[in-house]
Every structure is written in C-alpha cells, then in structure tokens.
C-alpha cells in the first residue's frame, strides 16, 4: 500500500470516527461485499472496519487479499463457499483442498472462525443445489477434522427468512412444510458440530411491501407502543426481534431449542427506486444507528433476553455493480471513497426500541403480522454473485395470501 494512500484513508477515519460512531458496538459484525469496481484496497479497509468498532467480518468468498490484509488484527472472519461450489464440495478430497488453500493457509494470523457453505440455498427451489448442501457441509467439516481445525472453525450455511411458513405471532413461528425434512438433517449437523444457524432478516421488506399497515417506528427501532404476542404475553417494540424469536420458535418446534441463531445479514438502504418506499438516508440512519446501540447493550430478544445478539450489519460499502433495484447498490454504511454514506448520529442509548423488551402490559396491542419476503431468487453467471447477498433480497412481499392475512390481522388493532 502506498504511504500517501494510507495517510489519505487514515485522515478520513480520524475525521469521521469521532462523530459517526461515538458508541462502539461490542462484537459488532459487518458484511464486506465486493461487487463493485471502485472500492478501496483491503489494506485501506482495515481502519474503516475498526472505526465502527466491528470485531467480526463476513465475506462472500475467501478473498486472499482481504484475509492477508486483516492478519494479526484480531478481527474474526466468516468466509463463504459459493453456491456454484456445492456439487464439487461433495467430494471430500476437493473439500480438503479448498480448506487447505483458503482457510488453513491464513491461520492463525487471520482469525477465521466459520465457513458458510452456500447462501439461501433452500429457497432457490433448485433440487440439485438443495441435495448438495448437506453433503458439501459434511465434507468441509470432515476436512477441518482431518486438518485439526474443527475446534476453531465451524461450518454452517445462511438462510433467507422465507424458509419460514409463519412468523406471526413469533410464538407460532414455523418452517415451511416442504423444507422441514431437509432442514431437520441440516439442524442435526449443527447440533453435532456446534455450529450456529444463520438467518438473513430484513424488516425493510416488510415495510416496503406494506407501508400503510406496517408501522415505520416499529421497523426502525424508534419509540413506539409495541405489540403483544397473545400466546406468550411477550412485548415487542421492533420487528427484527420478533423475526428472530419466530426463528427460535421454529427451531424449538423441531427439537432444537438451544441451537444458537446468528443474524448473518440485516440492514436498510439509503436510496431506492420510486417504488421502494422507505429507502432514504434518514431511515437507514435510524435503522442501523439504533441497531448498533442495541448491540452495544448485549441484551437479547424478549424470548431469549440473556442470549447475546450475534448480528452482521449489511453492508460495509455501497456496491455499484450489484444487480437489481437501486436499493441493492445502496446498503453501505460507507461510500467507496471511505466517507460515510450518512451519519449514524449515535450519541446515547436512550429512546431506542428494544432496550426494554420483556413482558406485555396494558398498553400493548395484539401482535401485528410480521411478513417475510417470498423467495424468487435469480441466478448469476459467476460464483461470487451467486452467493452474494444480492440474491433473493429484492423480491416483492405482496402475495395475495400474505396481503389478505395482513389486512385481516390489522383489523384487530
């Protein structure tokens, strides 16, 4: 890295870190996507990641330049194995070769703690991909065992929230019937190997699909009256926590009550197309800023108040080459030049929804539906794009059945 470039980025970080992130989130995770042609070098990204207090980074591949740049920084990494590799990874020999080249070669200098095999595979409605998922995960884990790395590196996969059949109320969270068999085998793998269950959750899509029914304050962690789950009497004042607890209940219904859940993606775009209601800098500031405040508190959801939230914010940078609507290119906390896309304005932890979510009271209302986007993911010509978070995140949430359910339930308010 050239010295003058280092000074340039260092000056940017020093100038923005004081007012952009006065409160650092403990164990904050960040998604580092690279579908762009104008991003800073990995060496220049290191101080940017540290400026937001992030201690964990999730990649969508195992980019050696990034992994080398973060050597000896103490930052933990989740690396990705693209969907296009799943069939190949069924072969134990090929899986071991991949692990040697992309993981073992960077240890222990770079702290790689997890490999996620495939992204939102089960909602692609692609039988060949689905059938290859678990065998690929097993082969990668076996490779780690053979190399003596299984105690420090786990194997998992990331799911879309649309693997849920129901998410309203959280206490009735359940997986799609057509995915239960496949999921059960995967969950057994998680339990045996001690790996987390990863879920991508975006309240933005619930609001975008039903802005008149879904309260904006509820999805942005802003102060609001909140809602009550009638079955548990638990009080919810933000949608993300309700979505997470719906996942916990879905897992419990299959006998996996103690399986750890990590939110591998969540975020809010600062810009969108005309029909992308709510995609503004102010809403992005509120969503991500309030979320970071909550993470700094180290408190859990109403159902799991003592469980730390492991959340990876999406995303580090705006990525100018991502497909899809305008929002897909505007999820970043930072612009490609290293300056903030907007100020998060974090100055205190007061007046943030979710800071006191325990049981319901007289002011609570029956819980509103928490819609999840159906998945109609698109394929990509490259492996990097196929595992990218661009896939399956910009579909409509307005199916007739879901809309009817929302309108019916909203009459109870």
Q: What is the CATH number of the domain that holds 289?
A: 3.20.20.80
Confidence at 224, pLDDT banded by 50, 70, 90: very high
- pLDDT grade, residue 130 (50/70/90)? very high
Confidence of residue 13 (pLDDT cuts 50, 70, 90): very low
Q: What pLDDT score was predicted for residue 354?
A: 67
* Choice among 2, 76, 84, 120 that is catalytic: 120
| pLDDT above 70: residue 388 | no
Q: How far is residue 9 from each of residues 14, 49, 277, 315, measured CA to CA in Å?
A: 9, 12, 34, 19
Quick check: helix, strand or coil at residue 4?
helix
What pTM does this model have? 0.83
Rounded mean pLDDT, 341-349: 67
355 pLDDT band (50/70/90 cuts)? low
In a domain, 1, yes or no: no
CB 300 within 8 A of CB 309: yes
Q: Which of 84, 265, 319, 328 is catalytic?
A: 265
Domain span at 279: 24-334
* Least trusted range by pLDDT, from 94-108, 241-255, 380-394: 380-394
120 among known catalytic residues: yes
Residue 9 lies in a domain: no
Q: Would you say residue 57 lies in a domain?
A: yes
Q: Any idea which of 24-33, 200-209, 292-301, 326-335 has the lowest mean pLDDT?
A: 24-33
Residue-wise pLDDT tens digits, 142-158: 999 999 999 999 999 99
Domains: count for the chain: 1
Please name the residues in contact with 287: beta carbons below 8 A apart, sequence gap of 6 or more.
203, 204, 219, 220, 221, 267, 268
User: Is residue 304 included in any domain, yes or no?
Assistant: yes
Whether 398 maps to a domain, the answer reads no
Q: Which residues partner with 29 through β-bridges?
A: 56, 312
pLDDT at 368 over 90: no
CA dist 140 → 6, 23, 84, 137, 152 (Å): 37, 38, 15, 5, 14
Let me know if residue 326 belongs to a domain: yes
If you average pLDDT over residues 253-272, what whole number do you get? Answer: 97
pLDDT digits (tens, 9 = 90+) for 19-28: 444 444 457 9
| 391 within domain boundaries | no
Backbone torsions φ then ψ of 114, nearest 5 degrees:
-160, 150
């Amino acid at each position: 890295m050239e010295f003058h470039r280092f000074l340039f980025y260092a000056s940017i970080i020093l100038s923005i870190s004081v007012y952009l992130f006065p409160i650092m989130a403990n164990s904050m995770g960040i998604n580092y996507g690279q579908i762009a042609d104008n991003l800073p070098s990995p060496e220049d990204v290191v101080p940017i990641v540290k400026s937001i207090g992030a201690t964990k980074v999730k990649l969508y591949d195992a980019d050696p330049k990034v992994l080398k740049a973060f050597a000896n920084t103490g930052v933990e990494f989740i690396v990705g194995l693209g969907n296009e590799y799943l069939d190949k990874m069924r072969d134990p020999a090929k899986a071991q070769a991949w692990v040697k080249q992309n993981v073992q070669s960077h240890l222990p200098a770079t702290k790689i703690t997890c490999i996620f095999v495939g992204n939102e595979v089960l909602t692609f409605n692609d039988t060949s991909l689905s059938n290859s998922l678990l065998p690929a995960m097993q082969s990668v884990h076996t490779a780690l065992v053979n190399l003596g790395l299984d105690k420090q590196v786990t194997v998992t996969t990331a799911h879309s929230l649309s693997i849920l059949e129901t998410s309203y109320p959280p206490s009735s969270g359940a997986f799609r019937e057509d995915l239960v068999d496949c999921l059960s085998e995967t969950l057994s793998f998680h339990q045996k190997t001690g790996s987390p269950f990863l879920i991508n959750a975006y309240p933005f899509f619930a609001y975008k699909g039903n802005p008149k029914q879904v309260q904006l304050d509820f999805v942005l962690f802003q102060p609001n009256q909140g809602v009550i789950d009638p079955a548990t009497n638990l009080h919810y004042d933000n949608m993300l926590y309700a979505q997470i607890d719906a996942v916990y209940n879905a897992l419990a219904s299959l006998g996996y009550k103690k399986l750890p859940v990590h939110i591998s993606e969540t975020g809010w775009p600062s810009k969108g197309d005309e029909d992308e209601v709510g995609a503004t800098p102010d809403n992005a500031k509120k969503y991500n800023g309030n979320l970071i405040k909550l993470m700094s508190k180290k408190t859990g959801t109403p159902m799991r108040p003592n469980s730390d939230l492991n959340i990876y914010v999406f995303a580090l940078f705006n990525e100018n080459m991502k497909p899809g609507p305008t929002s897909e290119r505007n999820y970043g906390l930072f612009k490609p030049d290293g300056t903030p896309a907007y100020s998060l304005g974090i100055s205190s932890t007061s007046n943030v929804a979710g800071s006191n979510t325990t049981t319901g009271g007289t002011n609570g209302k029956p819980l509103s539906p928490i819609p999840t986007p159906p998945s109609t993911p698109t394929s990509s010509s490259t492996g990097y794009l196929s595992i990218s978070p661009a896939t399956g995140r910009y579909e409509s949430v307005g199916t007739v059945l879901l809309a009817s359910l929302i309108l019916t339930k909203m009459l109870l308010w």
